């Protein structure tokens, strides 16, 4: 596939995954209502059983797969484009380390994604499939986030997401050909804001549960 | 102040030919004037090497005034050295301090094979240009200045893109060895002007295809190229190239034989 198509696919799937993050982050934030997970589980029930959402979920899985595969293809080809590395490195003078490390950050996100879906999504859907019932996700969250190691792993996942988004959000617009002095400032502000707020809210979930602030 | 008073340690990439292994070789050098250009400093080194019966360092250079784009050197991890918006020939020794160690490497990218020492083969760029980086009709004699009205902002953008000297610093500095800044400049300078319209779509399609074929990496928008480019070519050109490419691909018609045509 032509390089620019690969970039466009990366940008489109990246923005699509960002839209997923908005929904995911919004629904999970319902635990902060501190109502014993009632509202959260109601929303979770809707998302887990509504046929339209379930069909969209297939799109989400495909979106993730395309983004991940395309990401690895880009990373592999880009490594091959410079077989012999420089002895002296001065990259920090002209670009940010995280913009040069999207493949690495993406891989960390993938590892986190495996851990995270194994914790919630996979067992829940498997249970729905075999018994027809959803798992009590709020209780499950409290159990999982009572383990210090898991809290640390989840916070690390959120930190990787922060760096990935800090470059990715803006980068997606450039890949899609949107670079205009009139709109660049708002894209930059929105991107930085989203990259900070979304992973922060996510990170607060295991942290608040671990310390028992969410009952 | 032109007294030669700097003592430096140079670590220069020496490589016999494309297929041999290269390595950094250390050369102490003294009596360098801060007013010398970087290339003059290399001239001094080569003079000394020749006098000692050793082989001088091969390096590319031509105009020595920042317009030909030949003087490719990767200095202390930066394309064309520590300053912004200049070529190596415009870099002066006053940008360094007495006692500094300076590492000098050639551009390193699969698509720019090393020919010898600091000299690389940049004909990949020529092959990309040959795929459409020109206008194939005769423009005839000089026209009246305002025959074809062109908005001022478009002219400015086209001329800024046209400032690209094909030096390859963008490729050299990019973690992905991507040539997108160069190619996008060459596409933009014509896509922005009326004269470039007839071949606008076919140009972007075939130049991008050749760029990939040459083995350059894929841009990930780090922005390093824009910072290191001696002509300050803007990333806006890459965004424009992406738009041009997508539009051209989506609207491309299947080739059909319409017959006839002028001989
Ligand atoms: C919720 C999760 C994710 C979101 C929201 C996300 C978002 C993005 C965005 C917006 C970009 C920039 C696209 C562009 O430059 O056009 C990007 C790039 C990238 N992503 Fe992700 N991503 C996610 C997960 C992943 C995962 C799991 C991987 C696994 C390998 C990954 C690998 C990459 C790579 C390698 C790039 C760099 C490609 C480039 O810069 O051209 N991402 N991501
Ligand atoms: S875009 Fe800039 S760095 Fe790249 S070849 Fe042209 S002048 Fe050199
Ligand atoms: S020698 Fe011509 S640009 Fe440096």
Q: Domain locations in chain B?
A: 6-115, 123-257
The whole-chain average pLDDT of chain B stands at 95
Q: What angle do CA A76, A77, A83 make, to 5 degrees?
A: 90
Q: Which residues of chain A have pLDDT under 50?
A: none
Q: How far is CA A76 from the centre of its chain?
A: 22
Which domain covers residue A69, as residue numbers? 4-81+99-210
Is the Cβ of B25 closer than 8 Å to some Cβ of chain A? no
d(CA A15, nearest CA chain B) in Å: 15
d(CA B226, nearest CA chain A) in Å: 8
Query: What would the two tokens of residue A165 be?
Result: 């988004």
Query: What would the two tokens of residue A56 be?
Result: 């969209």
Is there a contact between A174 and B239 (Cβ–Cβ < 8 Å)? yes
B152 band by pLDDT with thresholds 50, 70 and 90 = very high
Ligand 1 centroid to Cα of residue A1, in Å, is: 18
Alpha-carbon distance of B141 to B147, in angstroms, equals: 13
Task: Tell me which CATH homologous superfamily contains domain B123-257.
Answer: Alpha-helical ferredoxin (1.10.1060.10)
pLDDT of B260 reads 54
Give me the number of domains chain A comprises.
1
pLDDT of B66 reads 97
Say which CATH class B6-115 falls into.
alpha beta
Q: Which residue of A has its CA nearest to B210?
A: A2
Question: Measured between beta carbons, which residues in chain B are less than 8 angstroms from residue A82?
Answer: 108-110, 175-177, 217
- What residues flank ligand 2, with Cβ below 6 Å? B 69, 164-170, 181-182, 185, 229-231, 233
pLDDT of A194 reads 98
pLDDT of B1 reads 47
Contact call for B221 and A85, based on CB within 8 A: no
Q: Where are the alpha helices (DSSP H) in B163-235?
A: 169-173, 180-191, 200-213, 224-228
A160 to each of A12, A110, B49, how far by Cα in Å? 20, 10, 51
Q: What angle do CA B31, B32, B35 make, to 5 degrees?
A: 140
pLDDT of B143 reads 82
ipTM greater than 0.90, yes or no? yes
Pocket test for ligand 3, best of B38, B59, B68 (most atoms within 8 A of CB): B68
B235 band by pLDDT with thresholds 50, 70 and 90 = very high
Considering the domain boundaries, does residue A21 fall inside one? yes
B111 band by pLDDT with thresholds 50, 70 and 90 = very high
Ligand 3 centroid to Cα of residue B38, in Å, is: 11
In this prediction, residues B12-41 reach a mean pLDDT of 97
pLDDT of B259 reads 58
Pocket test for ligand 2, best of B179, B233, B240 (most atoms within 8 A of CB): B233
**Structure pTM?**
0.95
Closest C-alpha among B185, B86, B102, B204 to residue A90: B102
User: Measured from the CA of B182, which atom of ligand 2 is nearest?
Assistant: 1
Considering the domain boundaries, does residue A164 fall inside one? yes
pLDDT of A24 reads 97
pLDDT of B168 reads 98
Residue B263 has pLDDT above 50, yes or no: no
């Amino acid at each position: 596939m032509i390089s620019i198509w690969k970039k466009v696919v990366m940008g489109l799937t990246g923005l699509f995954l960002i839209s997923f993050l908005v929904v995911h982050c919004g629904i999970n934030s319902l635990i902060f209502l501190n109502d014993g997970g009632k509202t959260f589980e109601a929303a979770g029930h809707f998302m887990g059983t509504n046929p339209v959402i379930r069909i969209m979920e297939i799109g989400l899985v495909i979106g993730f797969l395309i983004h991940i595969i395309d990401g690895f293809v880009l990373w592999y080809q880009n490594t091959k484009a410079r077989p012999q590395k420089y002895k002296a490195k001065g990259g920090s003078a002209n670009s940010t380390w995280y913009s040069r490390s999207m493949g690495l950050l993406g891989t960390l996100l993938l590892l986190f994604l495996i851990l995270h879906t194994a914790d919630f999504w996979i067992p829940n859907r498997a249970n729905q499939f075999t018994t027809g019932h959803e798992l009590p996700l709020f209780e499950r969250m409290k159990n999982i986030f009572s383990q210090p190691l898991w809290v640390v792993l989840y916070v690390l996942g959120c930190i990787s997401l922060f760096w990935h988004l800090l470059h990715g959000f803006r980068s997606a617009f450039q890949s899609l050909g949107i670079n205009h002095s009139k709109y660049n400032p708002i894209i930059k502000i929105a991107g930085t804001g989203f990259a900070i707020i979304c992973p922060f809210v996510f990170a607060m979930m295991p942290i608040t549960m671990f310390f028992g602030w969410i009952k | 102040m032109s007294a030669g008073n700097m003592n430096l340690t140079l670590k220069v990439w020496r490589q016999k030919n494309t297929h041999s292994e290269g390595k950094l070789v250390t050369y102490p050098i003294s009596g360098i004037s801060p007013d010398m250009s970087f290339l003059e400093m290399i001239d001094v080194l080569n003079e000394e090497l020749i006098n000692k019966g050793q082989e001088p360092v091969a390096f590319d250079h031509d105009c020595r005034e920042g317009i030909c784009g030949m003087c490719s050197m990767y200095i202390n991890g930066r394309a064309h050295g520590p300053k912004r918006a200049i070529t190596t020939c415009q870099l002066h020794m006053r940008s360094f301090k007495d006692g500094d160690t300076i590492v000098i490497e050639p551009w390193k990218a699969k698509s720019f094979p090393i020919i010898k020492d600091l000299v690389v083969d940049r004909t990949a760029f020529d092959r990309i240009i040959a795929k459409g980086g020109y206008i194939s009709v005769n423009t005839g004699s000089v026209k009246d200045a305002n025959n074809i009205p062109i908005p001022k902002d478009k002219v400015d953008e086209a001329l800024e893109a046209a400032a690209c000297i094909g030096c390859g610093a963008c490729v050299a500095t990019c973690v992905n060895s991507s040539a997108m800044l160069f190619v996008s400049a060459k596409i933009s300078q014509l896509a922005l002007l009326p004269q470039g319209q007839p071949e606008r779509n076919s140009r972007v399609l075939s130049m991008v295809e050749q760029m990939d074929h040459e083995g350059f990496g894929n841009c990930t928008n780090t922005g390093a190229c824009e910072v290191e480019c001696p002509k300050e070519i803007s990333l806006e050109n890459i965004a424009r190239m992406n738009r041009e490419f997508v539009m051209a691909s989506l609207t491309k018609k299947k080739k059909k034989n319409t017959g006839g045509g002028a001989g």
